[in-house]
Amino acid sequence: MNIQEINRYLEDIIDTMNEGLLLVAPDGTVLMVNKAFEELTGYKTEEVVGRPCTLLHCDACETTLKKKGALWCSLFEKGQVIKKRCSIIKKDGACLPVLKNASLLRDDTGVPLGSVETLTDISEVERLDQEVHQLSHQMEIKNGFHGIVGTSTAMQKVYQVVQKAALSDAPVIIYGESGTGKELVARAIHLMGRRKEAPFVQLNCAALNQALLESELFGHIKGAFTGAYRHRIGRFEAAHEGDLFLDEIADIPVATQVKLLRVLETKQFERVGDHRPLSVDVRIITATNKDLQEMIDSKRFREDLFFRINVIPIHLPPLRERIEDIPRLVNAFVERLRERTGKKITGLSPEAMDRFMSYFWPGNVRELKSALEYAFVIAEKGPIGLQQLPHPLVTEPSRSPSGTRESQERVALIQALRQSNGNQSEAARILGVNRVTVWNRMRKHGIDLKKVLMP
């Protein structure tokens, strides 16, 4: 085949490419695209040819504000762009991460004739990168129920609800003190559900102010605000067809709660700085360590949003209410730390284990893990003794159930229920809360009304 025959079939050859290709004139007008470009962007050839290449809103394009002669794009000065990661906006408004290569075409005298650009879809690569990052941070314990260690009665009840929640697409909310493992429960729901092959995306809502939080949730377009130098895909868009885990949901500002409620109701959202609605299919999992009903009473949390997310509640018990799981947790973490450090540490001495069993654990499983990490730094081999534990763990008073806030709350609730002869509305009046709070606390503390009222 000679060069003339190759040129004759050049269009067919280009259409076999997996990468999207476009040919751009010196004035920025699109001259030609291939079939892969159509599939990548959603634009048909006739919708693109003759229009400026800026219709893709590529956030890596550097156009000059002041024309320098006939040059309007920095590519015509640089001559080449190699493996540039950027994002484009498809016809349907979706943001697509791509790898761009571009070269300037010149005639024999060096005059620019145009440019040829290729776009490679890297959305799957970015998804896998995110998945690896999440797994490396969250799947720290290999054994147990999807990484959750514990066989106590309280945890068995949690596992049953998790299994049922995983089979549903309804919103799930996980209640529990800090350090009880809410993230692991959220991931377990994802791994056991029908969306397990799709993304699992999470966001801590307490770590950001309102502007940044909305950008993280919904994404933004280039130039939406100061510092928005590139298009950004939000967590909703990244979690499409998968699960979105919003931790510390109680810390979302009220204004953002309104926008979140709209997404849950309409399954549509708009990026910050854009007006085009995007559709999304996402199952929401939320978590909090606060009493949302009390926040509703004080107008800090919207009641309509609460009813949207509180469809399947899961209550995680604090570690002090499942002390029988402590030896298993210790063994699991010691094994993990032994593999990581290479130290020949056999576990806890009887005195140290007694202290672990009697300590209050305000930081729950996270604090227990941190205590063992500290001990592995201090100890060299053999069993870990009291002298190798963190100072607060050794010096703080032992567990005193009657003196804890949780226990006081439970005792007060039982007394109110007995005083009201089981009438939850009357019990709420006695406690100075509403009836829903009484109901939530009964579930939280595992209170059986029939047993409470037994003589």
Backbone phi and psi for residue 120, each to the nearest 5 degrees, phi listed first: -110, 125
Residue 210 and residue 111 in one domain? no
Token couple for 255: 């204004």
Residue 129 and residue 116 in one domain? no
Do you know the residue count of the chain?
455
Domain with residue 35: its CATH number is 3.30.450.20
Q: How far apart are CA 45 and CA 38, in angstroms?
A: 7
Is a pLDDT exceeding 80 seen at residue 429?
A: yes
Residue 54 lies in domain: 3-121
Residue 343 and residue 438 in one domain? no
Residue 156 and residue 262 in one domain? yes
Domain with residue 443: its CATH number is 1.10.10.60
Q: How far apart are CA 335 and CA 345, in angstroms?
A: 9
pLDDT of residue 261: 95
pLDDT of residue 4: 60
Label residue 263 by pLDDT band (50, 70, 90).
very high
Domain boundary among 82, 104, 121: 121
Residue 298 and residue 379 in one domain? no
Domain with residue 140: its CATH number is 3.40.50.300
Residue 182 and residue 242 in one domain? yes
Instruction: Note the pLDDT tens digit of each residue in 199-216.
Output: 999 999 987 888 889 989
Label residue 343 by pLDDT band (50, 70, 90).
very high
Token couple for 246: 């919003």
pLDDT of residue 166: 93
pLDDT of residue 236: 94
Q: How far apart are CA 26 and CA 61, in angstroms?
A: 15
Residue 71 and residue 152 in one domain? no
Query: 118 pairs with which residues across the strands?
Result: 21, 101
Residue 164 and residue 272 in one domain? yes
For the chain, state the CA radius of gyration.
29
Instruction: Note the pLDDT tens digit of each residue in 126-164.
Output: 777 666 655 554 444 455 688 899 888 889 999 999 999
Backbone phi and psi for residue 144, each to the nearest 5 degrees, phi listed first: 90, -165
Nearest CA among 404, 325, 328 for reference residue 360: 404
pLDDT of residue 65: 37
Q: Which of 100-104, 167-171, 278-282 has the lowest mean pLDDT?
A: 100-104
pLDDT of residue 421: 86
Domain boundary among 121, 153, 171: 121
| Whole-model pTM over 0.85 | no
3-state SS, one letter per residue, for the chain: CCHHHHHHCHHHHHHCCCCEEEEECCCCEEEEECHHHHHHHCCCHHHHCCCEHHHHCCCCCCEEEEEECCEEECHHHHCEEEEEEEEEECCCCCEEEEEEEEEEEECCCCCEEEEEEEEEECHHHHHHHHHHHHHHHHCCCCCCECCECCCCHHHHHHHHHHHHHHCCCCCEEEECCCCCCHHHHHHHHHHHCCCCCCCEEEEEHHHCCHHHHHHHHHEECCCCCCCCCCCEECHHHHCCCCEEEEECHHHCCHHHHHHHHHHHHHCEECCECCCCCEECCCEEEEEECCCHHHHHHCCCCCHHHHHHHCCEEEECCCHHHCHHHHHHHHHHHHHHHHHHHCCEEEEECHHHHHHHHHCCCCCHHHHHHHHHHHHHHHCCEEEECHHHCCHHHHHCCCCCHHHCHHHHHHHHHHHHHHHCCCCHHHHHHHHCCCHHHHHHHHHHCCCCHHHHCCC
Q: How many domains, in total, are found in the chain?
A: 4
Is a pLDDT exceeding 90 seen at residue 313?
A: yes
Domain boundary among 315, 347, 363: 315
Residue 168 and residue 188 in one domain? yes
Token couple for 303: 């009641």
